[in-house]
């Protein structure tokens, strides 16, 4: 972010404003962590600020400080629309395209509010007046830390802010192991622990809240896991019927895709999850090395994300989606064949 922009934003935030913070649809730890972290920071300046999430998120995020104040657009449209049309500033966090906020898109696109984007996804759209976009960052939470730092305000980071930012960095880096994790990331994590983030407690809150049914669903996912060794590819399917059998709840399938990637020799993993409600197959893609699942998702599955982690969807049936998936692999043989 350039110095001029920081100066303008500092000026803008120097008097109380009406502010809305927005994470992407189906928000993850980084989306909720970054919006909450920034909310706690803005509250120090007596702004009238609120987070509006397009929809709900998994229970394993619901312990975060301030979480109960998050409005959900799909549950409280009227209240949310009032906030959106009267907002002076809108922060959009952890997404690169207004298409990622679902039904909120049209309202947000029309508002007069000054928009500020903080995000690390590839190919960002240019709807925001101020853009802090950096695809090399581990997480939006790391960027919110940097943003506060650029505003010369790291001394304002308290336990609540530190806890939220730690959580998002941890979840987006697979507990600090993905290649996007840098020494700068670790330094920031160190600072956040000094400010009061309880690392061990946060890991417990996120990782060790499995229900018995989720663990059984994981068992089903693993027995559905297939590999295509010649393309170093693994994939998992879960039908709506299987989800129902194990009383699926939002977030239950988080991380399942990584089991495919953990197999020796596998560099590309996918999970296909049927959603009867949305009439789609929701797809998560992961890779190792230079193979870009962002590109593959953009080209074939109406999605995107990062080089090594992307999402997308298919309007075909599960079987047809898998057929399509297998049929496109030869296009990537240069990257995928050993
Ligand atoms: P996940 O597979 O965990 O849902 O998402 C992996 C990454 O891809 C995340 O950074 C997420 O924000 C991004 N992503 C997921 N779904 C989509 C999508 O439909 N479009 C775009 N552009 N990015 C997505
Ligand atoms: Mn993120």
User: Three-state SS across 27-92?
Assistant: CCHHHHHHHHHHHHHHHCCCCEEEEEECCCCCHHHCCCCCHHHCEECCCCHHHHHHHHHHCCEEEE
In angstroms, the CA 162 to CA 191 distance is 8
Q: How far is CA 135 from CA 96, 139, 147, 274, 308, in A?
A: 10, 9, 15, 30, 12
Atom of ligand 1 lying closest to residue 24 CA: 12
Rounded to the nearest angstrom, the distance between the alpha carbon of 142 and the centre of ligand 1 is: 18
Rounded-to-integer distance, Cα 180 and Cα 260, Å: 20
Ligand 1 centroid–CA 332 distance in Å is 20
265 Cα to the center of ligand 2, angstroms: 27
Question: What is the position in ligand 1's atom list of the atom closest to the CA of 31?
Answer: 12
* Residue 338, pLDDT score: 85
Residues 39, 168 contacting (CB under 8 angstroms): no
Which residues have CB atoms below 5 A from the ion given as ligand 2?
A: 30, 94, 140, 172
Atom 14 of ligand 1: nearest residue by CA position: 311
Pocket test for ligand 1, best of 310, 312, 314 (most atoms within 8 A of CB): 310
Which ligand has the nearest atom to the CA of 171?
2
Ligand nearest to the CA of 137: 2
pLDDT value at residue 260? 97
How remote is the C-alpha of 301 from its chain's centroid? 18
Ligand showing the shortest atom-to-Cα distance for residue 27: 1
- φ and ψ of 265, to 5 deg: 85, -10
- Mean pLDDT per block of 10 residues along the chain (338 residues) reads 93 97 97 98 97 97 98 98 98 97 97 97 96 97 98 98 98 96 98 98 95 97 98 98 97 96 98 97 97 98 96 98 98 95
Beta bridge partners of 20: 50, 90
Atom of ligand 1 nearest to the CA of 310: 8
Question: Residue 48 in contact with residue 18, Cβ under 8 Å?
Answer: yes
Instruction: Find, among 303, 292, 249, the residue nearest to 100 by Cα.
Output: 303
Is the distance from CB of 309 to CB of 293 less than 8 angstroms? yes
Ligand 1 closest atom vs CA 302: 19
Ligand 1: list residues with CB < 6 Å: 24, 97, 100, 284, 303-306, 309-312
- Residue the block writes with tokens 């197959």: 281
pLDDT for 217 equals 98
Spacing, Cα 119 to ligand 2 middle (Å): 7
Say what the pTM is. 0.94
Distance 321 CA to ligand 1 centre (A): 18
Cα of 303 vs centre of ligand 1, distance in Å, is 7
CA 229 to ligand 2 center in whole angstroms: 30
- Which residue out of 140, 142, 311 has the highest number of ligand 1 atoms within 8 Å of its CB and is therefore the one to mutate? 311
- Ligand 1 closest atom vs CA 254: 3
Q: How far is the CA of 246 from the centre of ligand 2 (A)?
A: 28
Q: What's residue 1's pLDDT?
A: 83
Q: What is the DSSP letter of 174?
A: T
Predicted pLDDT at 2: 85
Q: At what angle do helices 29-43 and 159-172 cross, to 10 degrees?
A: 160
């Amino acid at each position: 972010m350039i110095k001029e922009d920081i100066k303008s934003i500092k000026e803008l935030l120097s008097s109380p404003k009406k502010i809305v913070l927005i994470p992407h649809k189906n928000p993850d730890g980084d989306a909720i962590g970054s919006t909450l972290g920034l909310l706690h920071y803005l509250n120090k300046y007596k702004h009238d600020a609120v987070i509006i999430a397009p929809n709900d998120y998994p229970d394993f995020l619901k312990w975060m400080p301030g979480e109960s104040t998050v409005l959900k657009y799909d549950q409280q449209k009227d209240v949310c629309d009032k906030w959106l049309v009267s907002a002076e500033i809108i922060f959009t966090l952890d997404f690169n395209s207004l298409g990622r906020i679902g039904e909120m898109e049209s309202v947000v696109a029309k508002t007069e509010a000054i928009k500020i984007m903080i995000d690390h996804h590839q190919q960002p759209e240019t709807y925001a007046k101020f853009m802090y976009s950096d695809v090399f960052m581990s997480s939006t939470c790391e960027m919110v830390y940097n943003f506060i730092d650029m505003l010369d305000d790291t001394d304002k980071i308290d336990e609540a802010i530190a806890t939220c930012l730690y959580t998002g960095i941890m979840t987006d880096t697979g507990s600090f192991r993905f290649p996007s994790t840098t020494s700068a990331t670790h330094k920031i994590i160190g600072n956040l622990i000094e400010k009061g983030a309880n690392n061990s407690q946060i890991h417990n809150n996120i990782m060790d809240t499995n229900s018995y049914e989720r663990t059984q669903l994981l068992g089903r996912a693993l027995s559905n896991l297939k590999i295509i060794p010649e393309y170093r590819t693994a994939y998992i399917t879960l039908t709506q019927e299987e989800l129902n059998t194990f009383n699926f709840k939002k977030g239950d399938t988080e991380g399942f895709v990584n089991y495919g990637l953990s197999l020796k020799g596998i560099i590309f993993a996918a999970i296909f999850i049927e959603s009867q409600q949305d009439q789609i197959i929701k797809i998560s893609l992961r890779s190792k090395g230079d193979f870009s699942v962002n590109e593959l998702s953009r080209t074939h599955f109406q999605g995107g994300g990062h080089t090594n982690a992307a999402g997308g969807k298919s309007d075909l049936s599960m079987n047809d989606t898998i057929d399509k998936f297998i049929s496109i692999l030869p296009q990537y043989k240069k990257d995928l064949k050993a």
